């Protein structure tokens, strides 16, 4: 088995690349050579809650398998953008990842349900759904996708921001070129508000804002801060148009190599790391909001009346993308009442 670990290490060497951050020192640990060395892709910076959650996950797995499974976390998007990562995972080129649900939903359309605009009343409502039977059913709905879903991570609520002007009402969105994730639903949301959607990978947003290729984008406080978007697009509008959870995933090819014992350990560690990420999320989100406000950004809180107009403009999206899943949507809404 030692040989298998070594071979895998060599085989995955090209994928691990220079960006791979080994968390453990292997010097003088010949006895403890891992049986498996896996790659984990994360497109956020190393200090971001999801990346910290990934490191915790890798540490827990290492400990609980007695050092037999090593997972190398590649943060900062060093293994590529989310769509590319999903494609590679489907044939086992990358083993693990944390991916935004939006990036997955074009591959697994049922997931669109969970990112419908204004679906949840607040974060508690979303967590009640994700941690209950509905969330479990979604985790189990990846069959045939080449991916296995392990746990949910938090990503707060998304808001619009731009380089031009304060957005205070629906009319202010008109004609704005807004970067969205590479997701049909996200594009449709911007169109419903009168904007022009520009799908782009996450790592290209900063320069697109800077060069004027786009007027704005939308994301949570932590991403707006972490990627430095607030420095080039200083008008932020708290409209909370959607909450898009994150998923921790493993490639099915990788999964099928593992014993039942390892699978159980990995699932448990994924779940524990998710709880850790949620704690970090709360703190980071508040810190980011404070940093952004103190930097002098212009923050608009959308009035309840305007929020209702945003919401109304986006209602048709439910029928267009989720007509087959209306019962689930009803159940989600019911959980929030």
Shorter beta-carbon distance to ligand GCU: residue 65 or 74 = 74
Coil, strand or helix at 167: coil
State the nearest-atom distance from the C-beta of 43 to ligand GCU, in Å: 5
Could you give the angle at which helices 326-335 and 123-131 cross, rounded to 10 degrees? 120
Q: Binding ligand GCU by CB under 6 A: which of 37, 38, 40, 43? A: 43
Indicate the DSSP class of residue 68.
S
DSSP string, 250-302: EEHHHHTTS-HHHHHHHHHHHHHHHHHHHHHHHHHHHHHHHHHHHTT-EEEEP
Q: Give me the 188-227 binding string for ligand GCU, x by CB under 6 A, dash otherwise.
A: --------------x----------------x---x----
Shorter beta-carbon distance to ligand GCU: residue 44 or 273 = 44
SS (H, E, C) 101-150: HHHHHCCCHHHHHHHCCCCCCCHHHHHHHHHCHHHHHHHHHHCCCCEEEE
Shorter beta-carbon distance to ligand GCU: residue 67 or 76 = 76
Contact 230, 217 (CB under 8 A): no
Shorter beta-carbon distance to ligand GCU: residue 43 or 52 = 43
Shorter beta-carbon distance to ligand GCU: residue 240 or 246 = 246
Shorter beta-carbon distance to ligand GCU: residue 64 or 188 = 188
State the nearest-atom distance from the C-beta of 155 to ligand GCU, in Å: 5
Task: Determine, following the binding rule CB under 6 A, whether residue 181 of this chain makes contact with ligand GCU.
Answer: yes
- 267 contact partners, CB below 8 Å, separation of at least 6: 150, 151
Contact 8, 46 (CB under 8 A): no
Residue 107 CB burial class (10 angstroms; 0-12, 13-18, ≥19):
middle
State the nearest-atom distance from the C-beta of 67 to ligand GCU, in Å: 30
Task: Determine, following the binding rule CB under 6 A, whether residue 100 of this chain makes contact with ligand GCU.
Answer: yes
Shorter beta-carbon distance to ligand GCU: residue 100 or 162 = 100
Binding to ligand GCU in span 226-255, by CB under 6 A: 246
Contact 150, 250 (CB under 8 A): yes
State the nearest-atom distance from the C-beta of 45 to ligand GCU, in Å: 10
Shorter beta-carbon distance to ligand GCU: residue 239 or 306 = 239
Q: Binding ligand GCU by CB under 6 A: which of 8, 55, 79, 155? A: 155
Residue 252 has a CB neighbour count (10 Å cut-off) of 18
State the nearest-atom distance from the C-beta of 184 to ligand GCU, in Å: 14
Binding to ligand GCU in span 65-94, by CB under 6 A: 82
The structure tokens 């921790």 sit at: 248
Size of the site for ligand GCU (CB under 6 A): 10
Coil, strand or helix at 199: strand
Task: Determine, following the binding rule CB under 6 A, whether residue 39 of this chain makes contact with ligand GCU.
Answer: no
Positions in the binding site for ligand GCU (CB under 6 A): 43-44, 82, 100, 155, 181, 202, 219, 223, 246
């Amino acid at each position: 088995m030692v040989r298998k670990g070594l071979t895998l290490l060599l085989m995955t060497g090209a994928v691990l690349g220079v960006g791979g951050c080994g968390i453990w020192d292997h010097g003088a640990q010949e006895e403890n050579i891992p049986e498996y060395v896996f790659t984990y892709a994360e497109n956020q910076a190393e200090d971001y809650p999801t990346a910290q959650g990934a490191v915790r996950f890798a540490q827990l797995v290492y400990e609980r398998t007695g050092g037999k499974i090593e997972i190398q976390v590649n943060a900062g998007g060093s293994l590529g953008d989310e769509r590319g990562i999903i494609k590679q995972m489907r044939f086992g080129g990358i083993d693990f990842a944390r991916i935004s649900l939006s990036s997955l939903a074009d591959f697994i359309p049922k997931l669109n349900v969970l990112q419908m605009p204004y679906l949840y009343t607040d974060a508690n409502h979303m967590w009640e759904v994700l941690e209950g039977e509905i969330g479990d059913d979604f985790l189990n709905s990846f069959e045939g996708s080449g991916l296995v879903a392990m746990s949910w991570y938090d990503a707060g609520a998304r808001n619009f921001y731009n380089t031009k002007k304060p957005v205070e009402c629906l009319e202010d969105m008109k004609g704005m070129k807004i970067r969205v994730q590479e997701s049909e639903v996200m594009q449709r949301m911007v169109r419903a508000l009168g904007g022009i959607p520009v799908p782009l990978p996450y790592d290209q947003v900063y320069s697109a804002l800077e060069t004027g290729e786009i007027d704005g984008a939308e994301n949570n406080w932590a991403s707006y801060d972490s990627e430095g978007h607030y420095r080039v697009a200083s008008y932020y509008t708290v409209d909370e148009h959607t909450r898009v959870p994150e998923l921790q995933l493993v490639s099915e090819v990788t999964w099928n190599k593992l014993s039942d014992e390892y699978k159980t350990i990995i699932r448990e560690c994924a779940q524990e790391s998710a709880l850790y990420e949620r704690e970090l999320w709360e703190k980071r989100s508040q810190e980011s909001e404070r940093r952004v406000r103190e930097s002098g950004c212009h923050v608009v809180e959308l009035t309840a009346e305007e929020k209702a107009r945003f919401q109304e403009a986006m209602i048709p999206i439910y029928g267009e993308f989720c007509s087959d899943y209306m019962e689930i949507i009803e159940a989600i809404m019911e959980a929030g009442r």
